[in-house]
Amino acid sequence: MSLPIKAGIERVPGGMMLVPLLLGAVINTAHSGTGEYFGSFTGALFSGSLTILAVFYVCMGATIDVRTTPYILRKGGALLATKAAVAIIVGVVLGHFIGETPVDGGAFAGISTLAVVAALNDTNGGLYMALMGQFGRSKDAAAYSLMSLESGPFLTMVTLGVAGLSAFPWQTMLGAIMPLLVGMILGNLDPQMRKFLAPAVPVCIPFFGFALGTGIDLGTVWTAGLLGIGLGLFVLVVSGSTLFAADRLVGGNGLAGLAAASTAGNAAAVPALVAAANPAYEEAAAEATVLVAASVVVTSLLVPVITLAYYKRLQRRDPDATAPDPAAVEAGEQPPVARNAQADAETDAETDAETDVRHAARGRRP
């Protein structure tokens, strides 16, 4: 007897991050000293998020290929620069009114500059590449190799510093990006190291998700529920509109920009990492983690719907604009409309064949 545990978890948007995070939060809410009670390796699972994330970023860095084509450099660079610029602008505005601490009252109680910047800075790479692959845009999917530089706390630290909030020492900034750089060096010097390290990226996600969850009290989730949904919608609208414009400016049709308007599951780890680097953000970190996790769910649900709707609109207006890349065609990839048309044609052909057989059978009857 086997249970489809993995398939069940993956039905939840960002499930490999969010389900273990929720499990950790349930355990922490029921008994906050569980990790200390058991100690040893079990205790390490409850408190080892930073170590697991360090391994995660080394493996993630190994997947980044510095030998990108001009198209990938232009598309990925435009989307990466746009996300960073938007986060900086929003960070400057919110930093002026809120500062480092979260709002302590009213409808926006719990929101912080840290939460909003962390939600804006990191794209859900798996979702982006899946959408681009679905539409036969293999070169656009490959642009994430450059966009993945946004992973981790480094870009959020830079944004908070530029926004005029509590800055970070240069050693801390370098330490935040060093695991990613080490992974990049290893992966680009030796393709076998990339092949060895890359599969560990998804493996690490549920473990640091659980460890982060053990620092969350579910009592704060109820108060942050609607606010988290609002944050997700804010990320979708602000990121979606600006990335759409950036994609069009570099010669794209806007699909890649819309597909990148999401929050990555591992972005929920950023508030804790930032707070570990600078105690000024400790007060905001716990609620920021919950808010960013909510943004992950909201954007993971809505981005595919909006991207597909825009794709169908492009298909109606100009089918040539949505033609798949030659490489995707050679690989057998087809956009959803083409796949549906092919499936309809195959069904019609099968129906016609069955009709011919029936007619032939009737013709042979006495």
Structure confidence by residue, pLDDT tens digits, 83-114: 999 999 999 999 888 888 888 877 788 899 99
C-alpha distances out from residue 349 to 30, 352, 356, Å: 60, 5, 11
CA distance 298 to 286: 19
Residue 244 pLDDT exceeds 90 = yes
pLDDT at 172: 75
Task: Dump pLDDT digits (tens) for 152-206.
Answer: 788 888 888 877 776 677 777 788 788 888 998 999 999 999 999 989 888 888 8
Beta strand ranges found along the chain (DSSP E)? none
Task: Dump pLDDT digits (tens) for 110-145.
Answer: 899 999 999 999 888 777 877 787 776 767 877 887
C-alpha distances out from residue 233 to 259, 294, 299, Å: 14, 10, 7
The phi, psi pair for 118, rounded to 5°, reads: -65, -40
Residue 353 pLDDT exceeds 70 = no
* Contact present, 51 and 183 (Cβ < 8 Å): no
| Structure tokens, 349 | 């052909």
* Contact present, 212 and 21 (Cβ < 8 Å): yes
In 3D space, the residue among 155, 137, 270 whose CA is nearest the CA of residue 212 turns out to be: 270
* Contact present, 122 and 60 (Cβ < 8 Å): no
pLDDT at 66: 75
In 3D space, the residue among 3, 82, 27, 11 whose CA is nearest the CA of residue 209 turns out to be: 27
Written as one letter, the residue type at 115 is A
* Contact present, 152 and 270 (Cβ < 8 Å): yes
Mean pLDDT of 254-280: 88
The residue with greater pLDDT, 275 or 345, is 275
pLDDT at 192: 95
In 3D space, the residue among 338, 40, 51, 318 whose CA is nearest the CA of residue 179 turns out to be: 51
The residue with greater pLDDT, 224 or 168, is 168
pLDDT-derived band of residue 345, with 50, 70 and 90 as boundaries? very low
Report percent pLDDT > 70 for the chain. 83
pLDDT at 286: 84
pLDDT at 237: 95
Q: What is the mean pLDDT of the chain?
A: 80
The SS3 assignment for 334 reads: coil
pLDDT at 116: 94
* Contact present, 49 and 269 (Cβ < 8 Å): yes
pLDDT-derived band of residue 340, with 50, 70 and 90 as boundaries? very low
CA distance 121 to 102: 19
Span of 43-47, 81-85, 210-214 with lowest mean pLDDT: 210-214
Residue 316 pLDDT exceeds 60 = yes
* Contact present, 179 and 58 (Cβ < 8 Å): yes
Task: Dump pLDDT digits (tens) for 269-281.
Answer: 889 889 888 888 8
Q: Which residue in this structure is represented by tokens 């408190």?
A: 47
pLDDT at 120: 93
> How many other β-carbons are positioned within 10 Å of the β-carbon of residue 365?
5
pLDDT at 190: 94
CA distance 154 to 32: 30
Written as one letter, the residue type at 61 is G
Q: Which residue in this structure is represented by tokens 């000293």?
A: 33
CA distance 131 to 247: 15
Q: Which residue in this structure is represented by tokens 């499930």?
A: 15
pLDDT-derived band of residue 327, with 50, 70 and 90 as boundaries? very low
pLDDT at 336: 46
* Contact present, 294 and 232 (Cβ < 8 Å): yes
C-alpha distances out from residue 27 to 39, 214, 285, 351, Å: 15, 7, 19, 56
Span of 1-5, 73-77, 95-99, 217-221 with lowest mean pLDDT: 217-221
Residue 350 pLDDT exceeds 70 = no
pLDDT at 220: 60
CA distance 226 to 235: 14
